[in-house]
Structure 1
Amino acid sequence: MKNSYTIPRNLLDGLEAFLRVAERKSFREAAEDLGVSPSAISQTVRQLEDRIGVPLFIRTTRSVGLTEAGALFHAQAAPAFASLVNAWEGARTYGGRPAGLLRLNMPRSVVPLLIEPIIADFCDQYPDVDVEVTGEDALIDLAASGHDAGIRVGELLEADMISVRLSPPFRFVVVATPDYLNQYGRPQSAADLKSHNCIRQRISNGSVMPWRLIDGNRMVEIAIKGRVIVNENTAVVSLTKRGLGLAQVSEPLVIDDIRSGALEVVLGPLSPSSPGLFLHYPGHAQVLPKLRAFIDHVKAALATGMLDRLIPPEAPSTPRPATGRRSALRPA
């Protein structure tokens, strides 16, 4: 089936030659400017005139001038061609230096942990890059949504993503305040959770996220009950710290609260592990300089030990991957 084009595919053929002749008022000088022969310029302009259907130049042996149609065409075509050249050059700059809008997508809870500590330095170092950070817990298609990169836990990455590790593996732990545990007791097994108020979280597909725990060498999903359902991690943590009940969250999200004693881990040996957090982006053949600059900036920040405080105080003795879509992580 033939493609239907809104404008002819050869619409711009000969336009630069026409504009140069009109500027120079000479086919010979225009040919010198463009590095071609006068006959080639003449033929190119003639073909343009044939396509338009009217003569654009009045030619004599002594001079070259525009016809009325040529003057009208020049008045509108010259600024349009200049805009095209500017657009071309503007786009080319993205291939040489970090510039433009960098759009990042990540869970809300990750923004204060990873982005806020480094974003100011990044903006200082790359003043031509604007940064838009979208915090949302729903899984999205980066390319379809127009984002340059995202941050997700490793088990949720698609196989065609390029990834950069941001954190070591970490656990998903069940936590509660000391006051809650003193009042309602400390669960000793997964079955004990049925008698506790568990703060639940609704995910992007509309379902309530199950809790997953280790049972021997396998992962099990626990049907939990609770009076409150929220749709994002930071609300889960906030309600847990108010003593509303138990919650299962990623350990880095509550590591400071665990260290301070504000929250306590229960059922620790049953905690599943995640491969960690990863910066990920589509596997294009060429990474734009703005994204490459951000990737390098993140790597440099990691090398300084920025994530040291997020490493759990006691890593599980045998890391066990949390369930989810299996992903072939491709390092950048």
Structure 2
Amino acid sequence: MSISRANLADFVYFLAIARHQSFSRASQEVGISASALSHAIKGLEIRLGVRLLNRTTRSVTLTDAGERLHQVISAPMQEIDGAMEILNKFRDEPTGRIRLNILSDAAELLLGPVLPIFTERYPEIQIDLTVTNLIVDVIGGGHDAGIRYGGTVPEDMVAQRLSPDIRWVVAGTPDYLKSFGIPKHPNDLHNHRCLRIRLGSGAMYDWEFEKGKQRLAIAVPGAITIDETRVGLALVRNGAGLMYAPEPAMQPLIDCGEVVTVLDDWASVAPGYHMYFSSHRQVPTGLRLLIDLIREIHPLGE
């Protein structure tokens, strides 16, 4: 079988399905419907004369022939992607699309001030954001990179720091503190109403504190559990209880006097935001330009 444009396109579709093991997720990456994707793969299988995929109602896996094809074409297709990125450097206007999976806090605090400038500077680059606090396989999900706190970046990824370390604070409204008292020690939180935090892994987060060489993790009580900072900010400003949050996210409420921080002498500092991506992929030009702009603007300080 000779190489044609149709076959090359179908190879791209096949590799996307192999990565995601799902027609629906692969269709989101390549930008066509799942039914059109299925039709394209069936056409490729007919032209090749072999079945490449095992399809059931619950899963999509590679056949032996599919595994062999995947082994043979993966590296050349990555080299083609790399060649396109190299050529992109010679354009007057960089083009392409960046797919990012990011924390909601990073979307607001880090990218909110940067992306309007980025799109003005590089109008031909498209940015596709997936904002979630869930722990996901970023690369397997079809994204070019992710943004997470430094301490949560997978070890097999290349990480680029985007912000300084972040201070975490506890705050409540003046009326709440007048009614329930001001905690002087982290253990005092056991007698307060706290907004509990569910991590992206599903586990409950123990609020972390440090003072000198002392380190404490408190499993705080509370009737309300959150997994997203913006919801917590709306709750804390209305007196729902005490909230533990990144100081940059809490700062606007602090500045206008809606909330007051407590336990400041126990505030902990954690790694800041990092961009991370696979070491086995050519880093898209647009992604490098975005990292450079974030470092130029310093939205969270130097």
Shorter-normalised TM range = 0.5 to 0.7
Shift of 1:204: 2.6
How many correspondences in the alignment? Answer: 223
- The one-letter code matched in structure 2 to 1:307 is L
Number of the residue aligned with 2:266: 270
Tell me whether 1:141 sits opposite 2:137 in the alignment. yes
User: Cα distance, 1:180 vs. partner?
Assistant: 0.8
For the pair 1:12 / 2:2, whether they are aligned, the reply is yes
- Percent identity for Structure 1 against Structure 2: 31
Contact 2:194/2:221 (8 A) holds in 1: yes
- Is the counterpart of residue 161 in structure 1 residue 151 in structure 2? no
Is 2:111 the counterpart of 1:115? Answer: yes
Equivalence for 2:61: none
Q: What's the offset of the Cα at 1:154?
A: 1.3
CA contact (8 A) 2:82 2:282 kept: no
Contact kept, 8 Å, 1:95 with 1:288, in 2: the verdict is: no
Match of 1:214 in 2: 210
Q: Which amino acid aligns with 1:93?
A: M
The CA distance in 2 between the partners of 1:190 and 1:93, in whole Å, is 54
Give the TM-score, by structure 2 length: 0.67
1:93 matches 2:84: yes
Structure 2 Cα separation of the partners of residues 185 and 156 of structure 1? 34
> In 2, distance between residues paired with 1:307 and 1:277?
10
- Matching of residues 249-288 of structure 1 within 5 Å: 249-284=245-280, 286-288=282-284
Looking at CA atoms only, which structure, 1 or 2, has the larger radius of gyration? 1
CA contact (8 A) 1:142 1:282 kept: no
Cα deviation for residue 106 of structure 1 reads: 1.3
Query: Any idea what SS the aligned residue of 1:258 has?
Result: helix
Q: 2:288 aligns with which of 288, 292, 295?
A: 292
SS of structure 1 residue aligned to 2:104: coil
Distance 2:81 2:138 in 1: 24
Deviation at 1:216, TM superposition (A): 5.4
Report the Cα distance in structure 1 between the residues aligned to 2:281 and 2:81, rounded to whole angstroms.
21
Deviating beyond 4 angstroms after TM superposition, the runs of 4 or more aligned structure 1 residues are 88-92
Unaligned runs of 5+ in 2: 5-78, 89-93
CA displacement 1:200-246 (0-9 Å, x = unmatched): 12223322222122265242221211111122121112111111100
Match of 1:248 among 240, 244, 251: 244
Structure 2 counterpart SS, 1:254: helix
User: What letter matches 2:268 in structure 1?
Assistant: P
Alignment of 1:158-197 (within 5 A): 158-197=154-193
Determine whether 1:307 maps to 2:300. Answer: yes
Q: Residue type matched to 1:96 in 2?
A: L
Distance 1:101 1:191 in 2: 48
Cα distance in 2 for partners of 1:214, 1:297 equals 33
Equivalences for residues 19-98 of structure 1 within 5 A: 92-97=83-88, 98=94
Paired with 1:146 and 1:159, the residues of 2 have a C-alpha distance of 19
The code of the aligned residue for 2:128 comes to E
C-alpha spacing 1:205/1:159, structure 2 compared with 1 (3 Å) = closer
How far, CA to CA, are the matches of 2:82 and 2:160 in structure 1?
A: 27
Contact 2:195 2:241 in 1 (8 A): yes
**Structure 2 residue aligned with 1:24:** none
Structure 1 residue 90: Cα displacement: 9.0
The CA RMSD over aligned residues, in Å, is 2.4
TM-score (norm 1): 0.61
Match of 2:62 in 1: none
Distance 1:164 1:120, change over 3 A: same
Gap runs ≥5 in structure 1: 1-10, 16-87, 312-332
Letter in 1 for 2:178: N
